[in-house]
């Protein structure tokens, strides 16, 4: 069941960017974990801003491609989580495995045919 529209997906994405920018302070992240989280916020903002949907700012990336990139990112974040675990950073592991799961859920629930800018 696809219950998330393209507009709602965009709002979730911008909320995710804000969460990622605040996460290092909220969770006391330091070093590589903090840096990676800030970089991810920037990448997520760029993807959202460049997507062709209601809340996109430049509208270069088709919404369906946005979805494919998010599924790839979700899988990659699971790998990042394992990397943090192997590096002895449990906070990084739990943060990024949780984020990977949430992004995957949003992907599964999003109607990628709903964008009026297709």
Q: How far apart are CA 74 and CA 60, in angstroms?
A: 22
The burial of 7, by beta-carbon neighbours within 10 Å (0-12 exposed, 13-18 middle, 19 or more buried), is given as middle
pLDDT digits (tens, 9 = 90+) for 81-115: 999 999 999 999 999 999 999 999 999 999 998 77
pTM score, whole prediction: 0.93
Within 10 angstroms of residue 29's Cβ, the number of other Cβ atoms is 19
pLDDT digits (tens, 9 = 90+) for 26-76: 999 999 999 999 999 999 999 999 999 999 999 999 999 999 999 999 999
């Amino acid at each position: 069941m696809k219950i998330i529209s393209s507009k709602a997906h965009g709002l979730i994405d911008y909320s995710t960017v804000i969460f990622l920018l605040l996460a290092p302070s909220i969770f006391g992240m330091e070093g590589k974990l903090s840096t990676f989280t800030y970089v991810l916020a920037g990448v997520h903002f760029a993807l959202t801003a460049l997507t062709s949907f209601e809340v996109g700012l430049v509208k270069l990336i088709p919404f369906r491609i946005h979805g494919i990139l998010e599924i790839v990112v979700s899988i990659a974040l699971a790998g990042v989580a394992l990397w943090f675990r192997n590096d002895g950073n449990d906070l990084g592991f739990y943060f990024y495995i949780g984020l990977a799961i949430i992004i995957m859920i949003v992907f599964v629930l999003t109607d990628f045919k709903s964008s009026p800018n297709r």
